[in-house]
Chain A
């Protein structure tokens, strides 16, 4: 079987599986899983770029993903004049100051000769900077959080349109990626993994606790989702009601399905554009150089390639892609819930399972892996309990049986794990072989 046929078979099979879910269960469910799948496919493209092209081990995925969501809130939410009055400018000033102090301390450490003086100057700068920062930042945050705390209490946004948010999400995640890369890329593989895991968690902890920024655990709802219409609005439109009648569906179901299709089209087109760009990059001389660096850093360096800055570049680009996916995710769910990202298993390691299953270094593989794993993940939630009820049918009703049925959804973790282990053992190149 040629590679082309094999790939067609994989994607054909996937399409059939999603259609089967639509027919056997419901189209709402099929589209909901598909949309989540398309979003994580974008994330998987980003991770695959870092790992598959360059061998950079990033397990801070959840952090970059969450930053993308934050970008949507900061860009699309309406401007809040009361918060601005209360202290938004001071907060921004304090953050600028913090960045300036860190930069200055970093420069001082680099420029000065090693010795006691250097330590004193660097840490003195940091200490004075931190104290000043707290003095400006603390009262401003308190003032902003006191503004209408039941429904706001955060700095609000910039009232800009959604596509700006996609770009900003990429930019924000890229900036974070740049900072991480600058500090951690010099580390060897395992250490890089641990450092990124930590930095990702720090980002999420910040988002969970800094209420002035995104209301923390109080969540932000009603996120703008242009160009996708709202179900409630659709249900009142004359043309839509007649369309639903023509198809013989009730209006409510029809509206959720219609919205699902709209999301699939929007997210799907972004995925396709990214995929096309990435495929062009892989085939270009740039892609060849990246593979050369991945396969033998020393040789590539000897050929005059700047390994360090190429790594930096690819880490930043990969992070940006993950950020864009984060924006799409928040948009699709209409909700920014920072604590939901505090689950590295779901938002980081699951993505890794997708990339490994799909095939490291293969963009198409990352997409296929994402769609397969998310289908499994979603279905475990929807049919897992009934399957386990079927298996445990011979048992007498009782606490044990109840416990087994209730825990059925947890079985998706071992299933993903086993899949990952089997792939690593029997077919390490994954479903679709990368270059």
Chain B
């Protein structure tokens, strides 16, 4: 019984939060990694692309809600998501045509493209703040829990409850579907294959008749969809503010780099490495240990390795360690 309680507490406070956060990071990191693999630069504007996508989705959600539309037990934002993705796609494609294409055609070095993305980051960040303001926003509606802690304890008779929030379930479900679809697209379709070819060897791909403009356009569309979905899922789970999303750039980059930049599977692995270590390092293990250990062995403190404020620091410490020992990431990424 005690062991079961310990397990439930562990699931409730560590596994569930880390899994849904990891799924959100994975979607974000996939976007970063696609851009790195195909367009060959680190996109510093990615956090703000997520913010912009989420902001437009929130606006559409409000519009839907004001018209009395709802999605039953699910958040209305899911209905608004396609609109958000469409607007964000238009935005990133416009950015590519007006900004990135010029530098791409001149074969600018990755560092110059990185600086260009810094400019885009400023513009997008300001636009998002201008459109929706700087406040924290909660836009989740529908049922809060699939199972709440009390229902769970009543059902199982355990003293520790396991709460499953709707947003966690949606996040993980959506992430699984999107990742499956993405890998099917990259591995099975003609366009996906040409994208991978372009990423592996640009010159050879061009010789084989791959159209670079098409590859670039499809990449940006995928990136817009991934970034918007990641942002909306994160916002449903926690809340939205332009500044938090700008900061998300850090763990998202850490995930992509830890897994190996340019490698989609790596991005997912990296995201879960980062999310699980953030949670394990900053969770106070006392509660789990109370069940798992006999009273005499129980430590006095909270058994928390680092305070929760250090969660971004944890992701970066891991990033730096990985860069030092395996500079191309856990799974093989590419280095420009």
Contacts and interface: CB of A to CB of B under 8 A. Distances in A.
Instruction: Answer whether A and B are interacting partners.
Output: yes
Interface of A: 55, 57, 183-184, 186-191, 193-195, 197-199, 201-202, 205-206, 208-209, 343-345, 349, 352-353, 356, 403, 406-407, 410-418, 420-421, 424-425, 428
A411 B133 CA distance: 12
B336 A188 contact: yes
A227 B124 CA distance: 42
B320 A190 contact: no
A282 to B, nearest CB: 21
Nearest to B253: A194
A208 B308 CA distance: 12
By DSSP majority rule, is chain B's interface helix, strand, loop, or mixed?
helix
Contacts, number: 134
Contacts of B114: 57, 189-190, 193
Contact of B126 (A184, A352, A412): A412
Which 10 A-B pairs give the minimum distances between C-beta atoms? A417-B122, A413-B126, A198-B316, A417-B123, A420-B119, A414-B126, A421-B119, A410-B129, A190-B42, A414-B123
B324 A183 contact: yes
Contact of B122 (A186, A202, A413): A413
B297 to A, nearest CB: 17
**Range class of the B interface residue count:** 35 or more
A202 B313 contact: yes
B275 to A, nearest CB: 16
B49 to A, nearest CB: 14
Given A199-B316, A209-B309, A410-B134, A190 B126 contact: no
A255 B103 CA distance: 51
Contacts of A191: 257, 323, 327, 335
Nearest to B324: A183
A384 to B, nearest CB: 11
A201 B126 contact: no
A201 B312 contact: yes
A424 B246 contact: no
Interface in B305-331: 307, 309-310, 312-313, 315-317, 319-320, 323-324, 327
B111 A195 contact: no
B41 interface: yes
B313 A57 contact: no
Given A187-B327, A188-B335, A201-B312, A194 B122 contact: no
Interface in B94-152: 99, 102-103, 109-112, 114-116, 118-127, 129-130, 133-134
B323 A184 contact: yes
B123 A418 contact: yes
9 contacts: A189-B111, A190-B261, A191-B257, A193-B42, A205-B309, A343-B243, A353-B119, A410-B134, A421-B99
A345 B316 contact: no
A417 B121 contact: yes
Contacts of A345: 121-122, 125, 246
B323 A195 contact: yes
Contacts of A208: 309
Contacts of A356: 115
B83 to A, nearest CB: 20
A57 B319 contact: no
Nearest to B301: A138
B226 interface: no
Contacts of B261: 190
Contact of B133 (A187, A209, A349, A403): A403
Contacts of A415: 126
Contacts of B324: 183
